[in-house]
Structure formats: C-alpha cells, structure tokens
Copies of this chain bind each other. A is one copy, B any other.
C-alpha cells in the first residue's frame, strides 16, 4: 500500500527533570523499544516534557498573586497563584469571562490560560510553555542527527481549546525541519480545475494525529513518531501559524 502512515507511541520515556537532553532521551527510549528511526520520520513531542527539561516549571508556593489575580481567582475558584502565572505569561488579554482567560502569550500564541498547565507538572507545580518552542524543536532535531545520523522533523505540541468548536485538539507550537503550512495552491483537482485557497496547516494536523497515541501522555507517552508522511523540509518556524490580529476576523 503506497499511501500508508504509521503513528507509534514512544515507550520508556522517563519522568523528565530539568537539564535533561530530550534528543538523548528519545534515542534511548527508541533503542529500548527496538525501534529504528529513519530519515523523514516526524517526532511529535508533548510540550510538557520540553517545559520540564528546560526548567519551565514553577513551584506554586513561590508565587505571590497580585490584587488582580486574587480577584479573577475568586470569581473562578481557581488557585490565585495559578492565575498570577497566567497573567505573567500573557502580554495581552484577548477575552475574559467567568474566570476563563484567553490571552496572547509572550511567545505570540492566543490560547486559554497562556498555556500554563497544572497537569503532569509535578505536585504543587505549574508548567509554563517553552520560551521558544521552535528553538527547542531544532535543538532536539540536531541532537538526534548528531547521535544517530538520522534526519527527522520535530514538532512540539500542546492541546488547545479553540473558538467555534468544543473540545481541545493537539496543535503545533514549535517545529523544526518541516514546513508547517503546506501550500497546495496551483495544484489541480480531479477535473483539472486549479485548487483555490488550499493552504493546509500540516503541522497542526500532524500534532493532532500524534495525539491518537500521545492522548495517553498522562500515562507516560509524551512522544510519537509519525512515519510515511512526505513533508517539505524547511526551517520555517511554527510562529508563522498564529494569525496576526489584523488578518483575523475573530480577533
């Protein structure tokens, strides 16, 4: 079958502590699985382990909430120290209702709670998004290349809610080695008609696909390999994906 993709959950990933090289961890874990990476494989990594490796988790007891954070927390029965972190990670509040904060993060993502995560962050801790997920992805890609000589693409993912539709989906917040937006304009349809407005966010689709195995991340599968998808190599960062305010009809 020529048109076949595999998605494999990477087993044996240990609990990640600060300073760990994720490229090494992934290579080790795959070795234990007896799985050999190939050129062209795509590695999707749940951001939580990137945040941990990069020391982007915070002990909530060290956070002193501001007056504003205390007020918001009270309305929403959230931990005021968590709200404080959300505000600190935000550069602009986009929407706010009943304690739900949709903001633009310092990194330029519009998402709920500035991506600050209490799940899997460690007891009494919160995980912030990696400072530069594209850089994180590149570092991991280069480490893997150095260790085993294989050219892969790396996507750092996070699960985000979205406007219009219920339920969160996994999206790409960082990438390296893959063009995140796949531009099919100019291609022809079945009847020879040129496709219109066919820019596909393949990085997000790959992140969503990976979640079919990463969905178990909370039981320790924070990394997936996608094999068989032919992508365009590139160093375009995932920061091209968030739309600018002036280009978005909903912002």
Q: Offer 13 A-B interface pairs, CB within 8 angstroms, sorted by A.
A: A1-B11, A95-B250, A159-B198, A159-B200, A165-B201, A165-B241, A166-B241, A167-B201, A169-B200, A188-B218, A189-B218, A190-B220, A209-B209
A110 at the interface (CB under 8 A from B): yes
Contact of A7 among B4, B122, B161, B168 (CB under 8 A): B4
Q: How far is the CB of A26 from chain B (nearest CB, A)?
A: 15
Determine the distance from Cα of A159 to Cα of B196 in the docked complex, in whole angstroms. 12
Query: Which of A8, A35, A168, A242 has the most chain B CB within a 10 Å cutoff?
Result: A168
6 extra interchain contacts, Cβ-Cβ under 8 A, other than A119-B189, A166-B242, A166-B243?
A5-B212, A100-B249, A162-B162, A163-B251, A164-B248, A167-B180
Tell me if A213 counts as interface (CB < 8 A to partner B): yes
A119: which B residues are within 8 A, CB to CB?
189, 193, 195-196, 198
Chain B residues near A6 (CB-CB < 8 A): 4-7
**In contact, A7 and B166 (Cβ under 8 angstroms):** no
Decide if A164 touches B166 in the complex (CB within 8 Å). Answer: no
Q: Is there contact, CB below 8 Å, between B220 and A200?
A: no
Chain B proximity of A193: nearest CB distance (Å):
6
Of residues 79 through 124 on chain A, the ones whose CB sits less than 8 Å from some CB of chain B are 95, 97, 100, 102, 110, 118-120, 122-123
A-B complex: 4 closest residue pairs judged by Cβ atoms: A167-B201, A3-B9, A209-B209, A163-B250
Kindly report which residue of chain B lies nearest to residue A194, judged by CB atoms: B119
Q: Are A196 and B118 in contact (CB under 8 A)?
A: yes
Known: A159-B200, A248-B163. A212 touches B209 (CB 8 A): yes
A4 touches which one: B8, B95, B240 (CB < 8 A)? B8
CA distance A200 to B212 in the complex (A): 11
Query: Which residues in B have their C-beta under 8 angstroms from that of A201?
Result: 165-169
- A181 at interface (Cβ–Cβ under 8 A)? yes
Residue of chain B at shortest CB distance from A216: B3
Q: What chain B residues lie within 8 Å of A226 (beta carbons)?
A: 212
Asked whether A1 lies within 8 Å of B212 as measured between CB atoms, the reply is no
| A164 near B250: Cβ-Cβ < 8 Å | yes
